């Protein structure tokens, strides 16, 4: 419930996944250096933080996989520079 840091040998296939998932329909090609909003991820994120092993400060990985041949998208990470890092905005109500 705390994703290990990715490195050159990290295999995404070994990560635990959620029961919930989201279909991201995007018919148009993406443009380089352009921000795109994902579909609503609430159910996916909530499933992770509801796990017994989850605690504040844990790392979270969001996986993206294609459903068809040639439907690839490239994502950047903070390692490329802070201007390229993905952003996850979460709004919540404390208990």
- Domain borders along the chain are 1-95
Mean pLDDT lowest among 14-28, 64-78, 80-94: 64-78
For the whole model, what pTM was predicted? 0.75
Whether 20 has a pLDDT exceeding 90, the answer reads: yes
Q: Which residues of 58-92 are buried (b: 16+ CB within 10 A; e: fewer)?
A: eeeeeeeeeeeeeeeeeeeeeeeeeeeeeeeeeee
The pLDDT > 70 percentage for the chain reads 91
Average pLDDT, the chain: 81
Residue written as tokens 């040639």? 70
Using pLDDT thresholds of 50, 70 and 90, give the confidence band for residue 71: low
Average of per-residue pLDDT across 43-63: 91
What percent of the chain lies above the pLDDT cut of 90? 20
> What are residue 44's phi and psi, to 5 degrees?
-70, -50
Residue 35: its pLDDT value, please?
83
Q: Long-range contacts of range 19-24, CB-CB < 8 Å, 24 or more positions apart?
A: 19/47, 20/44, 20/46, 20/47, 23/67, 24/64
Residue linked to tokens 């509801």: 50
Q: How confident is the model at residue 16 (pLDDT cuts 50, 70, 90)?
A: confident
Token digits of residue 34: 């352009």
């Amino acid at each position: 419930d705390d994703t290990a840091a990715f490195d050159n040998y990290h295999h995404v296939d070994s990560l635990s996944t959620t029961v919930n998932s989201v279909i991201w329909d995007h018919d148009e090609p993406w443009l380089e250096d352009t921000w795109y909003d994902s579909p609503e991820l609430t159910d996916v994120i909530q499933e992770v933080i509801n796990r017994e092993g989850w605690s504040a400060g844990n790392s979270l990985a969001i996986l993206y996989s294609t459903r068809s041949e040639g439907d690839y998208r490239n994502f950047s990470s903070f390692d490329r520079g802070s201007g390229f890092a993905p952003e996850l905005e979460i709004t919540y109500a404390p208990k």
